[in-house]
Amino acid sequence: MACDLTLGRLVPCKDSVGGLKAIYFINYEDSGLEVTYDVTDTDVIDSLGTAVAAFRYDLKGASTYSEAITSSAANGTTAFDQTLAVTFTKLTKEDHKEIKLLCYGRPHVIVETNNGDLFYAGNQHGMDVTGGTIVSGAALSELVGYTLTLTGSEKVPANFCVAAGSTIAAQLTALGVNVTVGV
């Protein structure tokens, strides 16, 4: 049967850290997007295509990524509900326009963790902005910026992206991703 376990799991070392470093938005159905999986492990993505345009948003602080697993024995179904909650500091007219476009679309998202892992969320269906705020706090030390919540629902968990390269930039290049960084 295809759903039989193949490995056990030991308690790992305590060498991981939480948090997100950056996210990369890829427009839904980008013309160069063609996901290629590892030949021996379909949970790993080797390539996202050729000349795929991605837009990098750096993160710091309170941004999170999680996946809720919903499985029903009665229905014979399993879904992985992806949630990305991000905070972008500072309000600008340029960001205002891009946030609006992000809310209208349903991009695929590469999530970069503080551990140096890359996950590809919204693989088949993209991720939708389902909430957020444009905020200017009352006190001098309060948030001035944007908060967004993006959600997606997929048949499988977000895939690891694994490509040759010693840096994240080299790995993204090997994946076929051309990154545009803001100013």
Decide: 173 and 158 in contact? Cβ < 8 Å: no
Q: Which residues pair with 148 in a beta bridge?
A: 86, 132
Q: The sheet that has 144-154: what strands, in order across it?
A: 64-72, 77-89, 144-154, 128-136
pTM of the model: 0.91
**N residues, the chain:** 183
Grade residue 1 by pLDDT with cuts at 50, 70 and 90: low
Tens digits of residue pLDDT in 131-183? 999 999 999 999 999 999 999 999 999 999 987 777 888 899 889 899 988 76
Between CA 24 and CA 26 the distance in angstroms is 7
Tens digits of residue pLDDT in 71-91? 999 999 999 999 999 999 999
Tens digits of residue pLDDT in 16-75? 889 999 999 999 988 889 899 988 888 899 999 988 999 999 998 889 999 999 999 999
pLDDT average, residue stretch 118-139: 96
